[in-house]
Every structure is written in structure tokens, then in C-alpha cells.
Structure 1
Amino acid sequence: MKPLAIFGGTFDPIHLGHLCVAWEASELLDADVLMMPSGEPPHRPLPMASAPQRLAMLQVALRGQSRLILDARELGRSGPSYTVDTLVELRDEHGDRPLVLLLGSDAFAGLPDWHGWRRLFELAHIGVLSRPGEQATLPEELQRETVDRWVDDSTSLQSASAGHVMALSVTPLEISATRIRQLLAAGREPRYQLPAGLFDAPELLSPYRQR
């Protein structure tokens, strides 16, 4: 069965680095990817742009293609956006369809700090997005949890609904949302770091402009 992947983040703002790795993961896994903006991220400060503003930016960024799909469920949830809660909802909706949670290598290494992190493996596979040849140092408890879960063939993710871990080598784009916010605050235009459509609707970038 064709997998469904989940790529979450604050997307404050959505930039080409996000879109590039999500698209490459979609191709590597032959999967649709849910682009899922978080409401209240538990491990970082609240986003600068509001939920409606980030939603509008994603709607513009995802135009003209069908592989990357906007899923705004976490924006409507009160309290912290826990990934395990989202995966429970998706599992209820999709039955035995393989789900793949996409995480950067740094986020994956920090998984033991996540709420209900061990249950994630019961609900989904995990695709670890990394640079070619990159290997993150994992804490011992995560090594123990994943030692028998690693696979190197995406067909393994199609034959089970959850439980595997796979490294996905993607093109590294050194684009930082923090740096983009700094540039916009300084009155500059990071035109080739953001989706072009955002510059056609300058009000979408107003949360980051100095007032």
C-alpha cells in the first residue's frame, strides 16, 4: 500500500529548504506528504506569524502540485502540538496504511525528549532526513529502541504499517527560517530562499517586517 508521510514544523515561514526535502522524500518513498504546521510547538518558542498567516503562506507555497498536501489539524488544537496525538488521529483515519513520520537527523536524535516518544514506533515508521553520508550520534536509549528497526529499502515500509526506521538521503539546502526572519526585519528580500508566490502577496510576509 502506498505510504503516507508526515512532515511537520512551525513553517515560520515556509521556505524552499522545507519544500525541497519534503519533495525528495515523497519521491524516495513514492508517498504523498502531509505538510503539517504545528500550533504550539512544545520544544521551541511560539511562531512569530499567527496560525492563519502561516496557513496562508503554505497555501501559496503548495500551489501547482499534488504530492505535498496541506494538513492544518494541529493549528486548530489547543495546547501543545504533540506528534503522538496527531499520529493517533491519522492511524484511526487510515487504518493499516503505512505512515512515515519525516524527521531531520537532529530532531530524530532528540526523540527521547518528546512526549510519548516510544509510542511513535507503534503508530508510524520514521524517515530520517539526512545529508549524503551524514550519521548523527544517537543517545543510548534511542539506539536500543531502534537497533532492530533500521531498514534500507523503502519497500519494507510498504509491507508494514509502522515500526521501521529508514535513512533518507536528501539534498541539503542551507536555508534558515531564523535568518530569513532577520533579513525581512532588515528590509531585505530573501527572494531565492522563499517560494516566489510569497513575494506576489507581500502582506503574507508582514509579520516579519520591522514596524
Structure 2
Amino acid sequence: MKAVICTAYGPPEVLQVRSVPDPRPGRKEVCIRLVATAVTASDAIVRGLKLRGRYRPLMRIAFGWRAPRRGIIGMIASGRIESVGRDVKAFKEGDEVFGMDGFRAGTYAEKVCWPASTQLALKPSNLNFEEAAALPYGGLLASFFLRRLKVGAGRRVLIYGASGAIGTAAVQLARHLGAEVTGVCSTGNL
């Protein structure tokens, strides 16, 4: 299969298209033939090692010293289940799915194998694959932080960066949870 490999930390030019072996799902994994993915801010941070100060060495330890340890980056998947591991019950071949897995990555490729237990769901039939790929990054990260902060009815929430992918999702989710929401963004994004 074809994949985009991150050969070093740096600008987009460090990405190269190469042929790599097809992944095979483990017992508890699904193999997704990707139709769409999304390039996220987190992908750019990993590719470009865009952290300052004491965080840079920590990121190198976590992701790889000279280049990302997992050469195929990308955390958003939208596609069809091509095969499933023998212990997978939640999904079957042919299911149209979308989701996110920030630690395993691998979606800058034609196929990716992820645990069936990751943040993966059946794609709603009223969304195409590109629309489904646009949802997980902002929506799932916003949901994670709002749950962690126990946002709900009667709470006041300030969303800083309310015009970005995570911020716009956070505004909508916090409001849905019953919170009083104030959003802040730069004037260029009004």
C-alpha cells in the first residue's frame, strides 16, 4: 500500500510517499481502508516538533528522537472496515466508520489497523467520508476536556479559542450540556 512517511522532524517537505506492507489486524483490532483523513494541528506539531523549551526533549522521548518513531502519522480515520481480528464483536467487514486515535496514528496511508476499542464509531449515513473525517478532532477533544471539567447545567464556561476546531465544538457541546458559554477568539476570526 502507499503511505506518507514522516522521515524527520521539520516542514511538510519531510513527508514522502512510499510503498509499505499492508497492516494486518491483531485479535482485537480492525483494519480500515481509509477513504478520508484530516490534517490536524496535532499532526503538524508532531511533524514539525513545534514545542518550545523543556517540552521538546519530552516530545522526542515520547515520539522518537530524530523522527517520529511511527513514520506514518495522522490520527483521524474515515473509511470502511476491511478486516477484523478474531475477538472483535463491535464491527464487521464493510462497516463504514470514523474516529480518532492520537497515540497509534497511521492514517496518512491507504489502510490502518487500530484496536476496536479506540474512539471509533459507525459513520452516520447522512455524512460522506470527508464530512465524517472533519468531526473527530475538535469534537472528541472538546468532549474529553468538558467531561474532565464536569461541565454541565449551572456552570459558566469560557472557551478561549472559540473559532478553531476544538473551540467551536466545545462551545456547542458545553451549551448542549446546559452551561452558560462565553467564547473568545481573535478579531480576525469574528
Pairwise TM-score range, normalised by the shorter structure: under 0.3
Structure (1 or 2) with the greater strand fraction: 2
Greater Rg by CA? 2
Q: TM-score, normalised by structure 2?
A: 0.21
Structure (1 or 2) with the greater helix fraction: 1
Q: Which has the higher contact order (CA 8 A, sep 6+)?
A: 1
